[in-house]
Amino acid sequence: MESPLHQFVVKELIPLHVAGYNISFTNSALFMFLVVVGVTLLFFLGMRKSTLVPGRLQSIVELCFEFVDNMIDENIGEKGKPFFPFVLSLFLFILFGNLLGMLPYSFTFTSQIILTFSLAAMVFLLVTLVGIIRHGVKFLTYFMPEGAPLFFMPLLIPIELISYLSRPVSLSIRLFANMMAGHTMMKVFALFTIALGVGGISTIAVNVLLIGFEFLVAFLQAYVFSVLTCLYLKDAIHLH
C-alpha cells in the first residue's frame, strides 16, 4: 500500500535544467498556474459585463471582493486601502490553492513549506518596509512596549524582537502543517476504510465528515493567513 505521504511528492512534468539549477515545470507549478489563470478568468469573466443586479459569476467576484474589503476595514482601517490588492491576491491564491487540492488526484501546493515560507517572507518584508518607510527611525520604538518601566527594557526588547522575527516562521508553518496534516489524516482514514474490507462501509460516514472538515480548514487557513497579514500591517502602519 502506498504511503499517505506519497501525495506530496513533487514530480517533474517538463524537465528543465539551466546553469546547474533545476527549474523544471513541476506538478506544483502546474497547479499554481491553474489557480492564477482560474482566478484571473473568474474576475475577467465576472466583471466583463458588470450590471447593477449581479449575475452568478459577478456575485462570486463581489463576494470575494467585499469579504477582503471588510477584513481590511475592520483590521487596518482607512489607511489599509493601498494594501487591498495585495491582501486580495494573497487570500485568493491560498484559498483557491487549498480548494483545488481537495479534488482527488490533484496536488496541494500549499502543503509545500517552501511555498508557504515564500509567501510569509513576502508579507514579513512588506510589513517591515512599510514600517520603515512610514516611520523611519521611529519604527524602532515598535520594539519598546509603551508604558513599561525603563529597567525592564533589556528584557522586553529581545522578547519583542524574537516575537517579531518568528512571525514568518509561525505564519508559514501554520498553513503548511494544516494542509499537510489534514490531507494525511484523510488518507490515513481512507486507508483504514479500505483495510476493513466490507465492514468499511460503516466508516465511510467518518470519511465524508473529514472531507467537510477539510473544506472548512481550507477556507479557515486562507482567512487566518490574510487576517494575520492585516494585523501585521496594522502594527506597521499605526505602531501599537
- Report, in Å, the least distance between residue 63 CB and another protein: 16
Does residue number 188 form part of the binding site for another protein (CB under 8 A)?
yes
For residues 221 and 171, give the distance between their C-alpha atoms in angstroms, rounded to a whole number: 10
Among residues 122, 127, 121, 97, which one has the least CA distance to residue 109? 97
Using DSSP's 3-state secondary structure scheme, residue 24 falls into coil
With respect to another protein, which residue has the nearer C-beta, 130 or 218?
218
With respect to another protein, which residue has the nearer C-beta, 46 or 80?
80
Burial of residue 174 (CB within 10 Å: 0-12, 13-18, 19+) is middle
- Report, in Å, the least distance between residue 228 CB and another protein: 9
- Report, in Å, the least distance between residue 78 CB and another protein: 19
> If binding means CB under 8 A, how many residues of this protein chain bind another protein?
19
Whole-number Cα distances in Å, 222 to 7, 30, 61: 21, 20, 17
Footprint on residues 18-47 left by another protein (CB under 8 A) = none
Footprint on residues 167-186 left by another protein (CB under 8 A) = 173-174, 177-178, 180-182, 184-185
Task: Quote the DSSP letter at residue 200.
Answer: G
- Report, in Å, the least distance between residue 16 CB and another protein: 30
With respect to another protein, which residue has the nearer C-beta, 24 or 193?
193
Whole-number Cα distances in Å, 108 to 12, 143, 179, 226, 235: 15, 37, 8, 19, 31
For residues 131 and 15, give the distance between their C-alpha atoms in angstroms, rounded to a whole number: 41
With respect to another protein, which residue has the nearer C-beta, 188 or 194?
188
- Report, in Å, the least distance between residue 51 CB and another protein: 29
- Cell numbers placing 114: 517552501
Among residues 48, 51, 228, which one has the least CA distance to residue 123? 228
- Report, in Å, the least distance between residue 3 CB and another protein: 5
For residues 186 and 163, give the distance between their C-alpha atoms in angstroms, rounded to a whole number: 33
Contact track, another protein, 189-228, x by CB under 8 A: ----------------------------x--xx-xx--x-
Contacting residues toward another protein, per CB under 8 A? 3-5, 173-174, 177-178, 180-182, 184-185, 188, 217, 220-221, 223-224, 227
